[in-house]
Structure 1
Amino acid sequence: MRGNPQLVGREPWHSRMRMASLGAMPTTRGLERLIFFTDAVVAIAITLLILPLVDAASVHSDTEKTAAHFFTEEWPQVLAFLISFAVIARLWVAHHTLFEHVASYNGRVIFLSLAWVFTIVVLPLPTAMSAEFDTEKLTIVFYLGTMLVSSLLLTLLSLTVRGNSQLEASENPIDPRGVRGTAVMTILFGIALVVAVLVPGVNYLALLLLVLAGPIERVLGRRAARVT
């Protein structure tokens, strides 16, 4: 008995979705559009960080207060802006560096990239909240947790691409140091979150742990070199 000729060679829709998720979709234009979209969203999100300060400056100008009054009263907002700007910039650099080694993409790369972009879009909200509710545990968890998830997604992206012949550029493979770097940042964000929540009075100062990222990466790099 012959099957329906219209169905010959066709896969069920769920099989096609799985193939799209796991198999590469090798179009240079598609990869460029994914990168351009990501960069554009990051640029918008990092710009939104300054808007609460712009609004606050307008309020101060209406009350005829001086610039010194503005910075004295709004220093928590200014600090939150600087921290979030530095974090987003650091995460974007890691994302940019990773995609220098990407030759193609698949559904998993798209999903992880969109999830990462979501964390960047969300970050201006806890940034603004951290200035208004600076000691509330929920705000601290929201703020540091968003950073943690963002860094974790970058780590997963790196692990997804590295060693995958369909995704990784054969002429420019991912340096193990890059994977170690994102992994170290993720771990430090996690430790900072735990310290900020459990240790009274520390709050956002726990982010100072991130300065250890460079020294830790160098130590791990030397150990890896000795092993190889």
Structure 2
Amino acid sequence: MERDPARVVAFSDGVIAIAITLLVLEIHPPRDTSHLLHDLVALWPSYLVYVVTFMLIGQVWVNHHIMFDHVRSADRVVLFFNTVLLMDVAFLPFAASVLAEAFRDGHGQRTAVVLHGVAFAFLAVLFNVIWWHVRRRRLLAASLEPAGVAAIGRRFRLAVAWLATGTLIGGVLPVLGVAVIAAFIPYYWLPIAGEIARVKRRRGRGNQT
């Protein structure tokens, strides 16, 4: 049985929206306002983790749409792995809270970075599993050319390597590990060249006519 992926995307959007909103609730305001400015500045790890995690979840949302824009139908395997993906997304506010707390306290930073990195690396693995399955079962729309399929696949595989590298580094050098993971953000907002190749060609033919 194959299903319209629109409902999968709608449900996923809801879960991602809730998870990304919950991030701000992990920034707890100071209880004592006698030294408010100092105490607000001291929350810098929470601000940093909030920005990094928010942008990473934003990328999860963008790449989820990129993937399902090209899926013409979803079978039970896609539904299962997408559910696991959303379960991981819902876990991210907790991982972000642990990371911020560790940097504020100065203890357990290696473990916190690894927990945060593993959560995102597992998401990257799930993206690859879903993409591999829809390719193998021919569930992709015919409008996506082989070059686009390969380009998206390369982007998803690179995500696993990048996040895994940052996680491993974070297990030794926490600050550097977070920096490597954060460097993932600007690169992944770039468009996937192979995915838009057909659009460019169509525009070129239209201009010629």
Give TM-score scaled by structure 1 length: 0.73
Q: SS in structure 2 opposite 1:26?
A: coil
1:123–1:143 contact (8 Å) kept in structure 2: yes
Q: SS in structure 2 opposite 1:133?
A: helix
Q: What is the deviation of 1:94?
A: 0.7
| 4+ long deviations beyond 4 Å | 211-214
State percent identity of aligned pairs.
24
1:184–1:213 contact (8 Å) kept in structure 2: no
Deviations for 1:141-197, whole angstroms, at most 9, x for unmatched residues?
A: 2111101001111111111112532x1112335712111111111110011111111
Larger Rg: 1
Give the aligned partner of residue 49 of structure 2: 80
2:178 paired with 1:178:
no
Q: SS in structure 2 opposite 1:46?
A: helix
**C-alpha separation in 2, matches of 1:201 and 1:43:** 28
Q: What is the deviation of 1:63?
A: 2.0
Give the aligned partner of residue 114 of structure 2: 141
Structure 1 counterpart of 2:3, one-letter code: T
1:45-194 to 2 correspondences below 5 Å: 45-53=19-27, 56-57=28-29, 59-60=30-31, 63-66=33-36, 68-134=37-103, 135-136=107-108, 137-165=110-138, 167-173=139-145, 175=148, 176-194=150-168
Pair 1:86–1:32, CA change in 2 (3 A): same
**C-alpha separation in 2, matches of 1:208 and 1:39:** 23
Give the aligned partner of residue 202 of structure 1: 176
Q: What is the deviation of 1:133?
A: 1.4
**C-alpha separation in 2, matches of 1:85 and 1:102:** 26
Q: What is the deviation of 1:108?
A: 1.2
**C-alpha separation in 1, matches of 2:26 and 2:128:** 31
Structure 1 counterpart of 2:33, one-letter code: T
Q: What is the deviation of 1:71?
A: 3.7
Cα RMSD (Å): 2.6
Q: Which structure 2 residue ranges, 5 or more long, are not aligned? A: 195-209
1:112–1:157 contact (8 Å) kept in structure 2: yes
Structure 2 counterpart of 1:169, one-letter code: A
Q: Which structure 1 residue ranges, 5 or more long, are not aligned? A: 1-24, 222-228
Q: SS in structure 2 opposite 1:90?
A: helix
2:59–2:185 contact (8 Å) kept in structure 1: no
Structure 1 counterpart of 2:159, one-letter code: M
Q: SS in structure 1 opposite 2:171?
A: helix
Structure 1 counterpart of 2:10, one-letter code: F
Q: What is the deviation of 1:69?
A: 3.0
Give TM-score scaled by structure 2 length: 0.79
